[in-house]
Amino acid sequence: MASMSTTAFPKTTTTPPFLSHPLAKPDSLIAATVSFPRSRTLPRRRATTTLRVRSALIQPDGGKLVELVVPEPRRREKKHEAADLPRVKLTEVDLQWTHVLSEGWASPLRGFMRESEFLQTLHFNSLRLDDGSVVNMSVPIVLAIDDEQKALVGGSKSVALVDADDNPIAILSDIEIYKHPKEERIARTWGTTAPGLPYAEEAITNAGNWLIGGDLEVLEPVKYNDGLDRFRLSPFELRKELEKRGADAVFAFQLRNPVHNGHALLMTDTRRRLLEMGYKNPILLLHPLGGFTKADDVPLSWRMKQHEKVLEDGVLDPETTVVSIFPSPMLYAGPTEVQWHAKARINAGANFYIVGRDPAGMGHPVEKRDLYDADHGKKVLSMAPGLERLNILPFRVAAYDKTQGKMAFFDPSRAQDFLFISGTRMRGLAKNKESPPDGFMCPGGWKVLVDYYDSLSLTGNTRLPEKVPV
Amino acid sequence: MASMSTTAFPKTTTTPPFLSHPLAKPDSLIAATVSFPRSRTLPRRRATTTLRVRSALIQPDGGKLVELVVPEPRRREKKHEAADLPRVKLTEVDLQWTHVLSEGWASPLRGFMRESEFLQTLHFNSLRLDDGSVVNMSVPIVLAIDDEQKALVGGSKSVALVDADDNPIAILSDIEIYKHPKEERIARTWGTTAPGLPYAEEAITNAGNWLIGGDLEVLEPVKYNDGLDRFRLSPFELRKELEKRGADAVFAFQLRNPVHNGHALLMTDTRRRLLEMGYKNPILLLHPLGGFTKADDVPLSWRMKQHEKVLEDGVLDPETTVVSIFPSPMLYAGPTEVQWHAKARINAGANFYIVGRDPAGMGHPVEKRDLYDADHGKKVLSMAPGLERLNILPFRVAAYDKTQGKMAFFDPSRAQDFLFISGTRMRGLAKNKESPPDGFMCPGGWKVLVDYYDSLSLTGNTRLPEKVPV
């Protein structure tokens, strides 16, 4: 499993091998660090158009951040409009994608994909824009409907997207309905059609035979009311926060697992290296994924609790770290998905992306092996069209160094000194309320994990509901 | 099945919808038509470096046509070198790819793919060159070896590629051996992993677990000695022939089936339209595929015999048609493969590419449906990275017009007047020695087909050996 392996920079002290673009220093900014944002006091998107975004952060794909939430003054009118339209019901994953689209993580995409975008994504992992430029887009962001829904839509040019309780969420207009080639979509996205792919089982196999694309207008900012909405900063809000902190380099760390000291080592080491390169104020975007995850991953609420402890315990510096939730569902599509993870962070202002062993990977659902070659993710990322502007930071594996009693970059010349603690092993320890070796994870963070597995065993080893106070 | 449907331009007389690039007229050339090349009197590649290729033809991908046949004076030395190297045995399909690479159809590729090229092909259907430009490359051109062969290669930096009889064919140098992810390769190339894909069964499923990439040097021009070598013009030779004929537009027609009058209608209509656009001398490159095909396709030798009759019978004008064999194997990979078919023809000098319904498609090997959406091929082709320079000419279906007694562009307003003759139906008629409707195919061409199926029935309904005099 990729998830728990920790990681290090390649040994070379010259240009990292996968740095896809020469390191360019932005104009220097006055450094002004503020602490980890505790609450969402920032004014919302549309209300803040007077705030001038400084040009030092990397430009969003397509040059302008897409925002698809209807401005406050027009919401009433739009809701009336939605009430008269044919309805398409959104699943939980559909709603997550609606959220993703609405905040411009997929900029310049302005709605669920039409066929031309879907085909470009499947075949080229990128979209060609009208001006001839290319942006990365490796995972299909599509909305499936079944035959019955298609019949209901009839000749309408717009539809209302509604949640499970029929509340209107969005309008999709200038729609295009086209066939949903499920097998082909799965094969080209995952490189396998083996049964048991978590996302495919959740959102594709039993989905409708049609896809509906169009321009999206979301009626209200998407909220989950799970106590975590304050961590769900949009790309616009993140950019504002990063500006406020005076970031002159932003390095993003995608994760869907508890943070241990190997991760922390990597993140602090990255910051050190960026300082060495001459940046004055590199900021870490610690960006746990918040959408759909597979059943044996630790749920978001517990992970956030754990991340909070890690910051409290001083493992990471709150002054130079922004923790925020990335609202995308998880596909476990390895080299295809890692491009999406990186591309979305460009839109949030990151110009450095950390990539480790087997990103977004998992075990093969049928065969006894990893689904992807552990090195393909970083290789594909370094070659991906539309990601040339992003500096890719690959790293080697880290492990528990028994001689130092802490996580350290693995040194193959003294392999016997290192202990690899896999995700399976970590889960086993936490389930049995055993302690990991000292220095593997801060005690506060470990306690959260033990509590999680403890609560799980009470409910018969299935995943708990997401709502846990952070 | 795509193969037998005939085709027409879209009705619009303005810019065709999938014309990916504005029509640019090359400098005008003196028109000088010559007849259909009967024999290979053209001097071979390396001997003709003094011939100046005129700049009017479209430039090869990467700017320069790759040629990997060792020049005559160095062959003896290279054969000695090969004799001392570890040997890798080529299958029939491997040999066809060696041929393809040696003549620069895959320019700027200089050998079997290394992992970086393989990954770019799988994920992006294109390769980024050192200068940042992008060329199309949608199908993996790779060489598989098994564990035993890998062990034999050991730490050698070069290997000799040998044929079934151990004759040295080529040297592969500066080699890289990497894992052969068969399932992923199949899934990403075909969009399915269903058993029964002809190319996968022939060349992947039972192939070795490793791929070996490197720089190729072919010791002699690849020959098949099947009476058809004279039709196998290399891109270099085709360019010379097209120059000689004074072509100011070259339109390529890929096929792997007998030519009927629907095809002919399309090709002559394309020429007419190119003349209307202002070209003075558009030349048709009628370019049957010569490599591996599936068992129920008509074998190359019979197809060439049939194509010859079509030209003899005056259905196509020999003065403005070049018939030549495209040495690639057939993958039946639909939208992925059609890009390869188009890209290779750029390297041969074609700046127009005709694309019909479901190019390179076939029936799903397991389900009762076509493997690909019939329109995806032309859509994907029109959006493919690296093919921007090529003018894509899509066309509508043609059918037998009963009121005119000939093949005509299908007119949906009088659908009842048209008869669609599928490949299956055509094969059925030929097998039963029945005649198709008058005007479906020239009598000489039809007779070849009847003879083919006749000869088949004598051998128990399996495909005949390829060697049939043309």
pLDDT tens-digit series, residues B271-307: 999 999 999 999 999 999 999 999 989 999 999 999 9
Q: Which residue has the higher pLDDT, A428 or B192?
A: B192
Output the pLDDT for position A459: 65
pLDDT given for residue A181 in this prediction: 98
Mean pLDDT of A312-316: 89
Please list every residue in chain B whose beta carbon sits closer than 8 Å to the beta carbon of residue A188: 187-188, 191
Of B128, B192, B379, nearest to A119 by CB-CB distance is B379
Rounded (5°) CA angle A285-A286-A291: 115
Would you place residue B461 in the very low, low, confident or very high pLDDT band (cuts 50, 70, 90)? low
pLDDT value at residue B456 = 83
Do the domain assignments include residue B34?
Answer: no
The confidence band for A56, taking pLDDT boundaries of 50, 70 and 90, is confident
> Looking at the predicted structure, is the pLDDT value of residue B39 above 50?
no
Q: What is the mean pLDDT of residues A101-130?
A: 98
* Closest partner CB to B116 (pick from A134, A194, A383): A383
Whether the Cβ atoms of residue A153 and residue A216 lie closer than 8 Å to each other: no
pLDDT at B335 over 50: yes
A chain contacts of residue B21, beta-carbon cutoff 8 Å: none
Of A29-33, A327-331, B465-469, the range with the lowest mean pLDDT is A29-33
Is pLDDT above 70 for A50? no
Residues B323 and B434 in one domain: yes
Give the pLDDT confidence score for residue B458 in this predicted structure: 73
Domain count for chain B: 2
CB contact under 8 A, A124 and B384: yes
B162 with B195, same domain: the answer is: yes
Q: Do residues B297 and B188 both lie within one domain? A: no
Expressed as residue numbers, the domain containing A123 is: 65-218
Q: Residues 210..229 of B with a Cβ closer than 8 Å to A: which?
A: none
User: What is the average pLDDT across A81-87?
Assistant: 97
Q: Examine residue B58 and state whether it is found in any structural domain, yes or no.
A: no
Tell me which range, A23-32, A126-135, B405-414, is most confidently predicted by mean pLDDT: A126-135
Selecting from B123, B134, B193 the residue whose C-beta is nearest the C-beta of A192 gives: B193
Of A134, A179, A336, the CB nearest to B123: A336
The ipTM (two decimal places) reads 0.87
CATH code, domain carrying B433: 3.40.50.620
| Shortest Cα–Cα distance, B387 to chain A (Å) | 13
Task: List A residues 85-124 in contact with B (Cβ-Cβ < 8 A).
Answer: 115-116, 119-120, 122-124
Range scoring the smallest mean pLDDT among A241-245, A408-412, B381-385, B396-400: B396-400
Q: What is the pLDDT of residue A464?
A: 43
Q: How many CA atoms lie within 13 A of B228 on its CB side?
A: 26
Task: Enumerate the residues of chain A whose CB falls inside 8 A of the CB of residue B187.
Answer: 187-188, 190-193
Q: How confident is the model at residue A54 (pLDDT cuts 50, 70, 90)?
A: very low
Nearest neighbour of B380 by CB, restricted to A123, A126, A187: A123
- Give chain A positions within 8 Å (CB) of B182: none
Closest CA to B262 of B112, B401, B163: B401
Q: Where among B187, B218, B249 does a domain terminate? A: B218
Task: With cut-offs at 50, 70 and 90, classify the pLDDT of residue B460.
Answer: low
**Smallest CA–CA separation between A445 and chain B, in Å?**
38
Beta-bridge partner residues of B136: B126
Q: Do B383 and A116 touch (CB under 8 A)?
A: yes
Matching residue, tokens 């039809």: B446
Same domain, A285 and A393: yes
The minimum CA-CA distance between A201 and chain B, rounded to whole Å, is 17
Quickly list DSSP for B55-73.
TTSPPPTTSS----BPPGG
Using a CB-CB cut-off of 8 Å, the residues of chain B touching A343 are none
Residue A41 confidence (pLDDT): 34
Domain boundary among B172, B196, B218: B218
Residues of chain B with Cβ-Cβ distance to A122 below 8 Å are 191
What average pLDDT does the segment A390-399 reach? 87
Q: Indicate whether A301 and A180 sit together in one domain.
A: no
Contact residues on chain B for A184, CB-CB shorter than 8 A = 191-192, 372
| Interface check B79 vs A, CB under 8 A | no
Strands (E), B317-405: 321-323, 352-355, 391-394, 396-401
Which pLDDT value is given to residue B74? Answer: 98
Q: Do B125 and A120 touch (CB under 8 A)?
A: no
Least confident among A2-16, A297-311, B337-351, B388-402: A2-16
pLDDT at position A32: 23
A-contacting residues in B 177-206 (Cβ below 8 Å): 179, 181, 183-184, 187-188, 190-194
Q: Residues of A with CB below 8 A from B179's CB?
A: 373
- B1, part of any domain: no
Q: Residue B469 above 70 pLDDT?
A: no
> CB distance A193–B179 less than 8 Å?
no
Average pLDDT, integer, range A299-326: 94
* Three-class DSSP category at A5: coil
A249-258, B40-49, B66-75, B310-319: lowest mean pLDDT where?
B40-49
Based on its alpha-carbon atoms, the radius of gyration of chain B, rounded to whole angstroms, reads 22
A9 falls within a domain: no
Q: Six-digit token pair at B108?
A: 């700027």
B32 close contact with A: CB closer than 8 A: no
Is residue B415 one of the residues assigned to a domain?
yes
Q: Among B186, B218, B250, identify where a domain stops.
A: B218
**Chain B residues lying within 8 Å of A138, measured CB to CB:** 123
On whether residue B6 sits in a domain, the answer given is no
From A242-256, A292-306, B433-447, the region with the lowest mean pLDDT? B433-447
Minimal Cβ distance to B187: which of A123, A192, A380: A192
Q: Is position A17 within any domain?
A: no
Q: For residues B297-326, give the mean pLDDT.
A: 94
pLDDT in the model for residue B450: 92
Closest chain A residue to B126, measured at CA: A124
To the nearest whole number, what is the mean pLDDT of chain B? 87
Is the domain of A249 the same as that of A364? yes
Q: Lowest mean pLDDT of A84-93, A343-352, B5-14, B262-271, name the range.
A: B5-14
Q: Are residues A453 and A304 in the same domain?
A: yes
Does A389 touch chain B if contact means CB atoms closer than 8 Å? no
Same domain, B173 and B255: no
Quickly state the pLDDT bin for B55 (edges 50, 70, 90). very low
pLDDT for the residue numbered B25? 35
Query: What pLDDT is stored for residue B112 in this prediction?
Result: 98
The answer to whether the CB atoms of A187 and B183 lie below 8 A apart is no
Return the residue in B123, B340, B343 with the most chain A beta carbons within 10 A, the one to mutate for interface testing: B123
Burial of B437 (0-12, 13-18, 19+ CB in 10 A): middle
Least confident span in A2-16, A350-364, B454-468: A2-16
- Asked whether residue A304 falls in the same domain as residue A422, the answer is yes
Cβ contact B124–A119 (<8 Å) = no
Sheet holding A249-255, edge to edge: A321-323, A282-288, A249-255, A352-355, A391-394
For residue B468, the model assigns a pLDDT of 41
pLDDT-based confidence at residue B425 (cuts at 50, 70, 90): confident
Question: Does residue A286 lie in a domain region?
Answer: yes
pLDDT band, residue B40 (cuts 50/70/90): very low
Name residues whose C-beta falls within 8 Å of residue B371's C-beta, 6 or more positions apart in sequence: B190, B191, B192, B332, B334, B361, B362, B363, B364, B365
Q: Which residues of B touch A336 (CB under 8 A)?
A: 123
Give residue B459's pLDDT band: very low, low, confident or very high (50, 70, 90): low
Of B119, B128, B379, the CB nearest to A380: B119
pLDDT at A71 over 80: yes
Residue from B117, B118, B124 whose CB has the most chain A CBs within 10 Å, to mutate: B124
Which residues from chain A sit within 8 angstroms of residue B115, using beta carbons?
A: 379
Mutate to test the interface with B, among A124, A379, A382 (most CBs of B within 10 A): A124
The rounded mean pLDDT for chain A is: 87
CATH number at residue B181: 3.10.400.10
Give the residue from chain B lying closest to A128, CA to CA: B383
CB contacts, 8 Å: B191 with chain A:
122, 181, 183-184, 187-188
Residue A44's pLDDT is what? 37
Find the mean pLDDT for residues A331-346.
Answer: 98
Radius of gyration of chain A measured on its C-alpha atoms: 22
**Residue A460, pLDDT score:** 60
pLDDT surpassing 80 at residue A3: no
pLDDT band of residue B5 (cuts 50, 70, 90) is very low
Q: What percent of chain A has pLDDT over 90?
A: 74
Q: Which residues, 6 or more positions from B120, have their beta carbon under 8 angstroms from its beta carbon?
A: A383, B126, B127, B128, B137
Dihedral through CA B379, CA B380, CA B385, CA B391, nearest 10? Answer: -40
Contacts of A85 (CB under 8 A, 6+ apart): A156, A158, A159, A160, A171
Judged against a pLDDT cut of 80, whether residue A465 lies above it is answered with no
Tally A–B CB contacts below 8 A: 90
Q: Is residue A354 less than 8 Å (CB to CB) from chain B?
A: no
Kindly list the strands in the beta sheet with B321-323, ordered across the sheet, starting from the edge strand earlier in the chain. B321-323, B282-288, B249-255, B352-355, B391-394
pLDDT beyond 50 at B139 = yes
Quick one: B382 and B419 in the same domain? yes
Longest pairwise C-alpha distance within chain B: 70
Find which of A184, A197, A339, A382 to mutate to test the B interface (most B CBs within 10 Å of its CB).
A184
Task: Tell me the two tokens of residue B403.
Answer: 């009121």
Residue with the bigger pLDDT between B425 and A133: it is A133
A327 and A212 in a common domain: no
Residue B8 predicted with pLDDT over 80: no
Of the candidates B138, B112, B121, B123, the one whose C-alpha atom is nearest the C-alpha of residue B210 is B112
Q: Which of A113, A119, A123, A343 is the mutation pick for testing B, counting most B CBs within 10 A?
A: A123
A188, B188: Cβ pair inside 8 Å? yes
Residue B80, min C-alpha distance to chain A (Å): 37
The residue that leads in pLDDT, A415 or A12, is A415
The two beta strands, B249-255 and B210-218, are unpaired
Instruction: Evaluate if residue A406 carries a pLDDT over 50.
Output: yes
Q: Are residues B374 and B454 in the same domain?
A: yes
Q: What's the pLDDT score for residue A462?
A: 53
